[in-house]
Amino acid sequence: MDFEELIINMGPQHPSTHGVLFLQLKLDGEVVVDCQPHIGYLHRSIEKIAENRTLVQFVPFTDRLDYIASMNNNVGFCLAAEKLLGISAPPRAQYLRVIVAELNRVASHLLAIGTFAQDLGAYATPLFYALRDREKVVQIFDQLCGQRLTYDYVRVGGVSGDLPPGVDQLIRDFIAYERRMLAEYHDLLTGNVIFCARSRNIGVLSKEAAVNYGVTGTNLRASGVAWDVRKDEPYLVYDKFDFKVITGQKGDSWDRYDVRMREIEESLKIIEQALGGLPEGDPVAKVNKVFRLTGETYMRTENPRGELGFYLVGDGGPLPYRLKIRAPSFSNLSVLPYLVRGLNISDTVCVLGSLDIVMGEIDR
Amino acid sequence: MFTKINDMVSGFVSILKGLAVTGKNMFRKPVTIQYPFEKPAMTARFRGLVDLYPEKCIACSQCVKICPTAALALETTTNPQTKKRAAAVFTYNGELCCFCGLCQEVCPTAAMYMNKCYEVAYYAHDDLTKIDLLKADKYAHLAPPKVKEQKT
């Protein structure tokens, strides 16, 4: 009998591709021989739009890059803009930025864990629990800035508003609540034999391969490389807080899940410390300023998905000459063909879910 | 043989643990609300559709300049006697709006604000693209039927 390789299209509209990602799989029976991701379905030319907007006007667009972690994008872009202009935000604004960035990291990791469990066949239950907890963060942000998804809270030179009364207590309640819930997640997923069997030793990413492919963030740390921009190149006030860089051992899908779970705890610790040491003062930025942009700068921050970089060039006018965005998901997706060769189709879904990509920032 | 039995037992225990978590949730309060019939109260800073107090507006057009998506269009007239500028035509395109809230922040007289309206379904494009901000009942055609409000 004659066996042929079969090419199937997975996506662009597929429940497990986390957005409009189109994977072309070359199959030998059930085994994936080759995988080619096709991207660009969500392209909105945000980098080009940046050339026609002032820095203040561009901040709402950064919400639309990685829409799961908009706050972290706001922070990254505003830090790049401030670095180019040579200004810095007031101390209270810096603390507030840390708090919102870490809250959003918790929300993002929760969603990543929930969708990962759903990709493995734990139909809806863990995802709904994760969404329930994420909702608490979203409601805090709703009180803080008035939106639930596209926050536009962080501004060049500060933030858009101080903490409203009662919100700091809400955040403290959330920290206590989330610590209780994490124990439940561990009962539900970490100890589950089926979950372990499906994710252990699947998609093993070695240290060298991870570095060579430019993988960053939780995926890199799961492979055992202790690289965290918050620790190794501290921005904002991260050097004042006590937190650990979580690393995995093997770099398989299970490690990537585990690193995210433990990073939530570290983020909660950072939020607690930042709330405790919140300095007095006015964090609100004056928005209506026309800046003259000269020179060039590159600023990288730690997104929930990895290293988010903004390369900003000015030519003396109020508009940037060029903005290049280094999206962490793009590099994290590029390692997928390397990981899935020789795996089954169902394991491809597992690896893709564990990489935690967001198409919004890959296509930009 | 022993490892197989061991696996079966530990697997059974882990599934029971997971079921216990699910069982606990049966006795918790529901976190969802029956949306079209019950509605959550909007927060104080909620950013809905752009709205205007026409009597406060001094037609400085700062909001038009800062709008990242050019959703606002303003034409001004000058009163020949008092030399004061006033808005003649002020239209708002709700389809272009990205709800960033920059316009209400730059407004020097707090004439521009964002209301609590989040239900922006409409039948014709003109219902949302050509909103006359100077009119008093500009959003009357978008208002949903009244239902009871619920606090969360």
B66 neighbourhood in chain A, CB within 8 Å:
56-57, 287-288
Is residue B26 scored above 60 in pLDDT?
yes
| CB-CB under 8 Å, B43 with A142 | yes
Measured between beta carbons, which residues in chain A are less than 8 angstroms from residue B31? 132, 135
Q: Range of B102's domain?
A: 50-137
Mean pLDDT of A326-337: 90
Band of residue B45 on the pLDDT scale cut at 50, 70, 90: confident
d(CA A287, CA B104): 11
CA distance A202 to A347: 7
Share of chain B above pLDDT 90, in %: 0
Residue A285 has pLDDT above 80, yes or no: no
Range with the lowest mean pLDDT among A104-108, A271-275, A335-339, B16-20?
Answer: B16-20
pLDDT tier for residue A176 given thresholds of 50, 70 and 90: very high
Band the pLDDT of B152: cuts 50, 70, 90: low
The answer, for A318 touching chain B at a CB cutoff of 8 Å, is no
User: Hey, what CATH class is A42-361 in?
Assistant: mainly alpha
pLDDT over 60 (residue A57):
yes
Position A330: which residue type? F
Q: Do A187 and B24 touch (CB under 8 A)?
A: no
Query: Is the pLDDT reported for residue B150 higher than 60?
Result: no
The answer to whether the beta carbons of residues A252 and A347 sit under 8 Å apart is no
- Range A313-321 average pLDDT: 87
Residues of A numbered 42-81 whose beta carbons fall under 8 angstroms of chain B's beta carbons: which are they? 53, 56-61
Measured between alpha carbons, how far is A329 from A347 in angstroms, rounded to an integer?
19
pLDDT at A343 over 80: yes
**ipTM of the complex as predicted:** 0.82
A12: cis peptide before it, omega within 30°?
yes
**pLDDT of B85-142, one tens digit each?**
877 888 888 888 888 888 888 888 888 888 888 888 878 788 888 888 887 777 777 7
Per-residue pLDDT band for A281 (boundaries 50, 70, 90) equals confident
CB contact under 8 A, B101 and A152: yes
- What pLDDT shows up at residue A100? 92
Q: How confident is the model at residue A287 (pLDDT cuts 50, 70, 90)?
A: low
Q: Which of A196, A237, A149, A212 is nearest to A338 (CA)?
A: A212
Of B15, B31, B98, the CB nearest to A135: B31
pLDDT band at A106 (very low <50, low <70, confident <90, very high): very high
Q: Check if the beta carbon of residue A21 is closer than 8 Å to that of residue A39.
A: yes
Rounded to whole angstroms, how far apart are CA atoms A317 and A303? 29
Of B18, B43, B100, the CB nearest to A192: B18
- Is B73 a member of any domain? yes
Q: Does B22 contact chain A (CB < 8 Å)? A: yes
Q: Which residues lie below 8 Å from residue A61, measured CB to CB, with a gap of 6+? A: A46, A49, A50, A53, B68
Indicate the range of A141-150, A330-339, A342-351, B2-11 predicted with least confidence: B2-11
DSSP string, A198-242: HHTTSS---HHHHHHHT--THHHHHTT----HHHHS--TTGGGS-
Mean pLDDT, range A109-134, rounded to an integer: 87
Whether A142 and chain B come into contact, CB under 8 Å, resolves to yes
Residue B63 has pLDDT above 70, yes or no: yes
Answer whether residue B86 is part of any domain. Answer: yes
Do B21 and A193 count as a contact with CB atoms less than 8 A apart? Answer: no
Share of chain B above pLDDT 70, in %: 93
- Distance between B134 CA and the closest CA of chain A, angstroms: 24
Model confidence at A102, pLDDT cuts 50, 70, 90, reads very high
Task: Give the sheet arrangement for strand A294-303, strand by strand.
Answer: A294-303, A306-315, A320-326
Which pLDDT tens digit goes with each residue over A154-166? 888 888 888 888 8
pLDDT of the residue at A54:
87
Decide if pLDDT at B149 tops 60: no
- With bands split at pLDDT 50, 70 and 90, how would you rate the model's confidence at A311? very high
Query: Over 80: is that where the pLDDT of B58 sits?
Result: yes
Q: Give the CATH number, domain containing residue B71.
A: 3.30.70.3270
Q: Check B10 against A193: CB less than 8 A apart.
A: yes
Measure A193 CA to nearest chain B CA, in Å.
Answer: 5
Instruction: Decide: B118 and B42 in contact? Cβ < 8 Å.
Output: yes
Enter the DSSP assignment of A159. Answer: E
Q: How far apart are CA B110 and CA B103, in angstroms?
A: 10
For residue A296, pLDDT over 70 is answered with: yes
Nearest to A275 by CA among A103, A95, A118, A106: A95
Mean confidence (pLDDT) of chain B: 82
Q: Touching check for A191 and chain B: CB below 8 Å?
A: yes
Tell me, yes or no, whether B145 lies in a domain.
no
Q: Which residues of chain B does A160 touch, with a Cβ-Cβ cutoff of 8 Å? A: 101, 105
Best CA proximity match to A19, nearest among A149, A117, A141, A115: A115
The residue of chain A with its CA nearest to that of B43 is: A143
Q: How many domains does chain B have?
A: 1
Taking an 8 Å cut-off on Cβ atoms, the answer to whether A57 and B68 are in contact is: yes
Contacts B47 to A, Cβ<8 Å: 145-147
Q: Which pTM does this prediction carry?
A: 0.87
pLDDT on residue A279: 85
Contacts B114 to A, Cβ<8 Å: 146
Average pLDDT of chain A? Answer: 87
- Measured between CA atoms, how close is B57 to chain A, in angstroms? 18
Q: Which of B14, B25, B62 sits opposite A193 (nearest CB)?
A: B14
B98 touches chain A (CB under 8 A): yes
Overall average pLDDT of the B3-14 stretch: 83
Maximum pairwise Cα distance, chain A: 78
User: pLDDT (tens digit, 9 = 90+) per residue, A73-83?
Assistant: 999 999 998 88
CA–CA min distance B20, chain A (Å)? 9
Q: Is the sign of the CA dihedral A247, A327, A119, A136 positive or negative? A: positive
| Residues 6 or more apart whose Cβ sits within 8 Å of residue B24 | A184
User: What pLDDT, on the 0 to 100 scale, is given for residue A190?
Assistant: 84
Q: CB pairs below 8 Å between A and B: how many?
A: 80
